[in-house]
């Protein structure tokens, strides 16, 4: 079948790499893609937030399956438009994507199905929000309701921080996304991510992971889109995983179906785990980046079969083949990221790396010019390795990243520290 992947990050490169290995895949396209993706897929210059452009391409090129990478096209309803035109699509409807695009919506779903999560209140006005923060005291967490590119959450250790955060949000720092605010009780514990596929009714767990949000070693410096990840996450023990499924994930999927907005696609749950009890921090309606790179490295070609079974509503008949393996990915970013950084520097040494099922360099912000790989973004490469232990994957990934010469780049030296 002809397949189209939407997106251009390391996440989409890893998806393309996995899908391309599956014999069911004939022509693989990716829009807009990047220099690395162009090695495994035909990159097409499409505006992926424009439904009619995407639909026209699908009809012209006889696309039989579309995999949507990022949240923005999902929140805009691209999956709805494709399905309305009988194109098999992996990804939730705009209504179901509210599990990511509205934090207040998700809290409401948790209330309806009794899923453990932080106690909360919702506000549309600054004054009453400030009053509530005074009542509750610090630490406390303030969240813009809508999509804010990972910048809409303030984990406030003091009342002042919380109040300043509220003032920012209500003065329009996040536009429409900040018209409503969710204020949450501060949860202590260790965070982990859990990825499941759902076809609207059935669920299929596809792996756990932990990421590294802060830019510098020792989890210091500002938050980023993620500087590295590994899978599985040891804190997600069998017991925690089964509690997460029975108390949080399955009740959410059931509640969505009950509301007439069944959830189809990958559901990425962020948990806070304390004393073996998981509580929901948030949902995302797509794969995490860079977590996806570690997951795809472990799943390989069967990722396509799983996504197809999901999109067709056939997850009840599908089983994954699990290897007892580990994967770890290190993000190579441009100096200055997540602040301002230069674009256009040259990356050398990539041709000295022999890629295999155990080592892959997934590209994010890159382009190719006259056989040179040029950095064009903040997060640029994802050096990903797989091994029989996390230690082995870690060793391989760091051994590989040292072969790359990129003066303008930097990476964290402690990816995986929590588990190692």
Ligand X SMILES: Nc1ncnc2c1ncn2[C@@H]1O[C@H](COP(=O)(O)OP(=O)(O)O)[C@@H](O)[C@H]1O
Which chain residues interact with ligand X by CB under 6 A? 118, 141, 143, 150, 152-153, 155, 184, 186-187, 191, 270, 281-282
Shortest separation between residue 12's beta carbon and ligand X, angstroms: 19
Q: For residues 51 and 224, which CB has a smaller minimum distance to ligand X in the complex?
A: 224
Q: What are the DSSP E strand ranges found in 160-293?
A: 181-185, 190-199, 203-211, 214-216, 220-223, 228-231, 264-274, 277-284
Nearest approach in angstroms of CB 161 to ligand X is 13
Least Å from the CB of residue 150 to ligand X? 4
Nearer to ligand X, 155 or 320 (CB): 155
Report the residue number, 141 or 311, with the smaller CB distance to ligand X: 141
Q: Which is nearer to ligand X, 174 or 406 (CB)?
A: 174
Closest approach, Cβ 415 to ligand X, in A, equals 17
Query: DSSP labels for 16-75?
Result: HHHHHTSTT--SEEEEE--TTGGGTSEE----TT-HHHHHHHHHHTT--EEEE-SHHHHH
CB nearer to ligand X: pick between 133 and 311: 133
CB of 305 to ligand X, least distance (A): 29
Minimum gap (Å) between residue 120 Cβ and ligand X: 8
Q: Which residue has the tokens 């990958």?
A: 266
User: Which CB atom, from 279 or from 386, has the smaller least distance to ligand X?
Assistant: 279
Least distance from ligand X to the Cβ atom of residue 334, Å: 22
User: What residues are paired with 7 via a beta bridge?
Assistant: 32
In the bound state with ligand X, the residue whose beta carbon lies nearer, of 143 and 326, is 143
Classified as helix, coil or strand, 322 is coil
**Cβ distance to ligand X smaller for residue 187 or 307:** 187
**With respect to ligand X, which residue has the nearer C-beta, 133 or 299?**
133
Q: Are 216 and 338 in contact (CB under 8 A)?
A: no
Smallest distance from the beta carbon of 284 to ligand X, in angstroms? 7
The nearer residue to ligand X, 121 or 155, going by C-beta atoms, is: 155
Neighbours of 129 (CB within 10 A): 25
Number of neighbours of residue 157 by Cβ within 10 angstroms: 12
Q: Is 289 helix (H, G, I), strand (E, B) or coil?
A: coil
CB of 314 to ligand X, least distance (A): 31
How far apart, in whole angstroms, are the C-alpha atoms of residue 109 and residue 250? Answer: 12
Judged by beta carbon, residue 161 or residue 191, the one nearer ligand X is: 191
Q: Decide: 37 and 363 in contact? Cβ < 8 Å.
A: yes
Measure the CA–CA gap between 44 and 28, rounded to whole angstroms: 11
| Cβ-contact 169, 178 below 8 angstroms | yes
Of 330, 316, 296, 297, give the one whose Cα is nearest residue 414: 330
The torsion angles phi and psi of 95, rounded to 5 degrees, stand at: -65, -40
Strands 181-185 and 120-123: antiparallel
Other C-beta atoms lying within 10 Å of the C-beta of residue 68: 27
Tell me whether strands 28-32 and 3-7 are parallel, antiparallel or unpaired: parallel
For the CA atoms of 264, 270, 275, 276, the dihedral, rounded to the nearest 10 degrees, stands at 30
Q: What is the smallest separation between the CB atom of 99 and ligand X, expressed in angstroms?
A: 11
Backbone phi, then psi, for 356, in 5-degree steps? -155, -170
What is the rounded distance in angstroms from the CA atom of residue 165 to the CA atom of residue 195? 30
**Min. distance of Cβ 277 from ligand X in angstroms?**
14
Residue 264 CB burial class (10 angstroms; 0-12, 13-18, ≥19) = buried
Question: CA 28, CA 287: separation in Å to the nearest integer?
Answer: 19
């Amino acid at each position: 079948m002809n397949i189209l992947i939407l997106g251009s990050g390391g996440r989409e490169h890893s998806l393309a790499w996995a899908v391309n290995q599956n014999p069911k895949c004939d022509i693989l396209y990716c829009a807009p893609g990047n220099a690395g993706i162009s090695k495994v897929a035909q990159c097409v210059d499409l505006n992926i937030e424009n439904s009619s452009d995407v639909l026209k391409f699908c009809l012209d090129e006889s696309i039989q399956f579309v995999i949507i990478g990022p949240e923005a096209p999902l929140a805009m309803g691209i999956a709805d438009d494709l399905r309305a035109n009988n194109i098999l699509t992996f990804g939730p409807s705009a209504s179901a994507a509210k599990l990511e695009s509205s934090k207040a919506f998700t809290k409401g779903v948790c209330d309806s199905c009794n899923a453990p999560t932080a106690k909360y209140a919702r506000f549309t006005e600054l004054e009453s929000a400030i009053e509530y923060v005074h009542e509750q005291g610090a630490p406390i967490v303030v969240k813009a309701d809508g999509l804010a590119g990972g910048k809409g959450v303030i984990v406030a250790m003091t009342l002042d921080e919380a109040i300043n955060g509220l003032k920012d949000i209500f003065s329009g720092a996040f536009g429409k996304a900040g018209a409503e605010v969710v204020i949450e009780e501060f949860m202590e514990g260790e965070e982990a991510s859990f990825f499941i596929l759902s076809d609207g009714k059935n669920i299929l767990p596809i792996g756990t992971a932990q990421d590294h949000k802060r830019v510098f070693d020792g989890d210091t410096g500002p938050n980023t889109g993620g500087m590295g990840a590994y899978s599985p996450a040891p804190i997600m023990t069998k017991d925690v995983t089964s509690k997460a499924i029975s108390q949080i994930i399955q009740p959410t999927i059931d509640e969505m179906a009950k509301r007439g907005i069944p959830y189809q696609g990958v559901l990425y749950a962020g948990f806070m785990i304390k004393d073996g009890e998981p509580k929901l921090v948030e949902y995302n309606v797509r794969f995490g980046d860079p977590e996806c790179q570690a997951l795809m490295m472990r799943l390989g070609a069967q990722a396509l079969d799983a996504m197809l079974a999901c999109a067709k509503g056939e997850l009840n008949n599908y089983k994954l083949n699990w290897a007892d393996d580990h994967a770890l990915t290190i993000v190579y970013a441009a100096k200055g990221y997540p602040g301002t950084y230069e674009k256009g520097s040259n990356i050398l040494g990539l041709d000295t790396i022999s890629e295999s099922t155990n080592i892959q360099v997934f590209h994010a912000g890159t382009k190719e010019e006259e056989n040179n790989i040029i950095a064009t973004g903040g997060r640029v490469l994802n050096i990903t390795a797989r091994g029989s232990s996390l230690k082995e994957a870690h060793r391989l990934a760091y051994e590989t990243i040292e072969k790359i010469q990129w003066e303008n780049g930097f990476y964290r030296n402690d990816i995986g520290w929590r588990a190692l």
